[in-house]
Structure 1
Amino acid sequence: MKRTEARQKAFQALFQLDSTELTIEEAIGHVLEEEQESNAFLNKLVRGTTENQAEIDAALEQKLEKWTLNRLPKIERTVLRLAVYEILHELDTPNKVVMNEAIELCKTYGDEKSSKFVNGVLSKFTEQ
């Protein structure tokens, strides 16, 4: 499984975890196609985002302007959590790659404004 597909599957699993009582393993199992096996990167993304959610949410709250995390649509909130986890914890992945992948997830699952909003928020994490 390529990293792009792993991110997409991680997004889907995290989206499920946001509103259900599933375990991480169950959520990952639900997004994998029949006979498809999980991989280490997918597991790391889902587990890392979930285990560091309080830190990620606090970082996001500081960067959001005129929004609270709870008011964000679920798609944008899930994409942002996943991307911020990667920016803060997966230092071997370039921030530009993380941002591009997050924008592509928004284009696939969100509306026309999702990708611009997510790009704006994530750019605040990558400014030096």
Structure 2
Amino acid sequence: MKRHEIREKALQVLFQLDNTDLTLEEAISHVFEENQELDPFFKKLVFGVHENLRELDEKLKEKLENWSLYRLPKIERTVLRMALFELLYMDETPPAVVLDEAIELAKTFGEEKSSKFVNGVLSKFVEQS
């Protein structure tokens, strides 16, 4: 499975966690077949976002101008959390690739202006590093 597809699956799992009462294991089971081996990149991304949610949200709040994190469309919030986790904790992916992937996810799953918004917020983190 390609990394882009893995990110799509991760987005689906994390979106469910943000919008339902499912456990992490239940959300994963809705996206993958039973007993399917999970890719290490997927596990690091999903478990990492899940375990560091408070910290990621705090960092995102600092960069959101005139927005509350919980007023954001849920897809955008989830894409931002995933990308920020990759930027902060997953050095194997260059920041430009993380931004491109987040923008593509926002285009695919979000609304018309989602990709521009996601790009604007994440660019603040990339410029800072």
Question: TM-score if structure 1 supplies the norm length?
Answer: 0.94
The number of residues matched between the two structures is 128
Question: What SS does structure 2 have at the residue aligned with 1:18?
Answer: helix
| Residue type of the alignment partner of 2:90 | E
Q: Hey, what does 2:109 align to over in structure 1?
A: 109
Would you say the 8 A contact 1:14–1:78 is kept in 2?
Answer: yes
Q: Hey, what does 1:65 align to over in structure 2?
A: 65
Q: Hey, what does 2:52 align to over in structure 1?
A: 52
Would you say the 8 A contact 1:28–1:38 is kept in 2?
Answer: no
Pairwise CA distance, 1:83 = 0.4
| Residue type of the alignment partner of 1:99 | L
Segment drifting more, 32-41 vs 111-120: 32-41
Question: What SS does structure 1 have at the residue aligned with 2:19?
Answer: coil
Question: TM-score if structure 2 supplies the norm length?
Answer: 0.93
Structure 1 vs Structure 2 CA RMSD: 1.4
Alignment of 1:23-62 (within 5 A): 23-33=23-33, 36-62=36-62
Paired with 2:106 and 2:52, the residues of 1 have a C-alpha distance of 22
Paired with 2:112 and 2:34, the residues of 1 have a C-alpha distance of 31
- Say if 2:97 is the partner of 1:97: yes
| Residue type of the alignment partner of 1:15 | F
Segment drifting more, 37-46 vs 88-97: 37-46
Alignment of 1:11-30 (within 5 A): 11-30=11-30
Paired with 2:38 and 2:57, the residues of 1 have a C-alpha distance of 26
Alignment of 1:113-128 (within 5 A): 113-128=113-128
For structure 2, which runs of at least 5 residues remain unmatched after alignment? none
Paired with 1:101 and 1:62, the residues of 2 have a C-alpha distance of 22
Q: Percent identity?
A: 65
